Chain A
Amino acid sequence: SQTIHQWPATLVQPVGSPLSLECTVEGTSNPNLYWYRQAAGRGLQLLFYSVGIGQISSEVPQNLSASRPQDRQFILSSKKLLLSDSGFYLCAWSVFVRRELFFGEGSRLTVL
């Protein structure tokens, strides 16, 4: 069966510090991968999605970036965090033709 792992689960970072969140999927090949952000009391905002290695589509320009160095690995990064980057970050995967999204456990980021 397929599983998705995301880490770290919780982090508190100062403004201006870098960020790296990592996500890996097991049990499937060539998944579609997604990064979402959920601000407190709000819906999920799509940040990036990837249909293959090195292929990244961005929905928000801001100060975040994503990379897919391996088929089942997806990384969200920032060089300098802003207060507005605080939120609940969710990695998700889907099989291309079925399209249901399956989420990782989430990473709660607080920027102080």
Chain B
Amino acid sequence: QKEVEQNSGPLSVPEGAIASLNCTYSDRGSQSFFWYRQYSGKSPELIMSIYSNGDKEDGRFTAQLNKASQYVSLLIRDSQPSDSATYLCAVYNNNDMRFGAGTRLTVKP
């Protein structure tokens, strides 16, 4: 079983729509959760971090965490073509960050 799982996509949404990205993880002891955005050929950049159950909002981005279900998601409101990228879910436990393979998002004008 993979430690961090994401749907590889591609996920395609029209401009202005809400993009929903999902991630599940296997280690119940995981402590911290992150979303990274990676443009093609570039390094990942941090978008959101979330540490406790519930929602966390930052601009057009909302991260949602449900530790009981071992599930974390990222919502992107009013999606823009510039949001087209691969989104990586990362889970932290005991000095070790594990990444999912990423979901490729395409926002069509």
Contact = CB atoms under 8 A, between A and B. Distances in A.
A43 B31 CA distance: 20
- SS class, residues of chain A in contact with chain B: strand
A49 interface: yes
Contacts, number: 44
B100 A43 contact: yes
A99 B92 contact: yes
Interface stretch (B12-20, B41-49, B66-74): B41-49
A104 B4 CA distance: 23
Contact of B95 (A42, A49, A90, A105): A49
Interface residues on A, range: 20 to 34
B38 to A, nearest CB: 9
Contacts of B46: 100-102
B44 A46 contact: no
Interface in B56-109: 88, 90, 92, 95-102
Interface of B: 4, 31-32, 34, 41-46, 49, 88, 90, 92, 95-102
Give the 3 A-B CB pairs with smallest separation, nearest first. Answer: A43-B101, A44-B99, A103-B43
9 contacts: A34-B97, A43-B102, A46-B97, A94-B97, A100-B34, A101-B34, A102-B46, A105-B42, A106-B42
